[in-house]
Amino acid sequence: MEIIILLTLLAFGYFFGQRAEKKHFKSIIDREKAYLKLPVVTMRTPPAIHQHTLNSELVAGNAVISIDFFKKFVASLKMLFGGHVTQYESLLDRARREALLRMKEQAQHKNAFVVLNARVETASISKNSKRRNSVGAVEVLAYGTAVSLGDKIKNEINS
């Protein structure tokens, strides 16, 4: 009986997990293309133009992504032998890119032309209290300073 439950969970995880991941990656790639013109850099110095014409604001984006049962199962098997755990790699990749995109979204909303000093922070949210060290889900926070042109220079450009 337990084996049947396990197998069903694995099948569910495999089927829905793969589908969700594919869909998510597709949407991430599409949105990344849309935001290509807004660079996000880890540089800390503002651009060397007349800086009093700039507006700066903190922007942040976060995402909590959970792993599916199938991947978790495969990953736990891989833990025995060591080596690449691609299951978690794709999970973290998804979470990071999603968080960065949300930050970019906010920056674009503020008419920024660059996001400076971007930082990415990762925290694991373990769901299972029985098994420690189990990564159930990860939270990624991306934050930075969105820099946009102030009203002063905009008026100058327009006039």
Partner 1 sequence: MLLTNLEQVPGKKIVQHFGLVQGNTIRAKHVGKDFLAGLKNIFGGELGAYTELLAESRQEATDRMIQQAQSMGANAIVNIRYSTSSVAQGAAELYAYGTAVKVEL
Among all chains, which residue has been given the structure tokens 């991947």? 71
Q: Which is nearer to partner 1, 12 or 82 (CB)?
A: 12
Torsion of CA 66, 27, 18, 143, to 10 degrees: -20
How many of the other CB atoms lie within 10 Å of CB of 23? 10
| Structure tokens, 87 | 């299951």
* Least CB distance to partner 1 at residue 26 (A): 14
For residue 45, give the 3-state DSSP assignment. Answer: coil
CA atoms within 13 A on the CB side of 91: 24
Q: 141 vs 61, 101, 144, 149, CA distance in Å? A: 6, 11, 10, 26
Q: Is 100 in the site for partner 1 (CB under 8 A)?
A: no
Q: Is 89 in the site for partner 1 (CB under 8 A)?
A: no
Q: Please give the Cα distance from 88 to 134 (Å, whole number).
A: 11
Q: Is 16 in the site for partner 1 (CB under 8 A)?
A: yes
Angle between helices 69-81 and 2-34 (to 10 degrees): 100
Residue 80 CB-density burial (10 A; 0-12 exposed, 13-18 middle, 19+ buried)? exposed
* Least CB distance to partner 1 at residue 54 (A): 4
Select from 5-13, 29-37, 76-84, 104-112 the region that touches partner 1 (CB under 8 A). 5-13
Choice from 28, 31, 38, 62 touching partner 1 (CB under 8 A): 62
How many positions of this chain bind partner 1 (CB under 8 A)? 47
Choice from 98, 103, 107, 112 touching partner 1 (CB under 8 A): 98
Choice from 31, 38, 53, 93 touching partner 1 (CB under 8 A): 53
Q: Is 139 in the site for partner 1 (CB under 8 A)?
A: yes
Q: Is 101 in the site for partner 1 (CB under 8 A)?
A: no
Give the residues lining the site for partner 1 (CB under 8 A).
9, 12-13, 16-17, 20-21, 24, 44, 46, 50-54, 56-58, 60, 62-69, 71-72, 98, 116-117, 119, 121, 123, 125-127, 129, 136-137, 139, 141, 143-145, 147
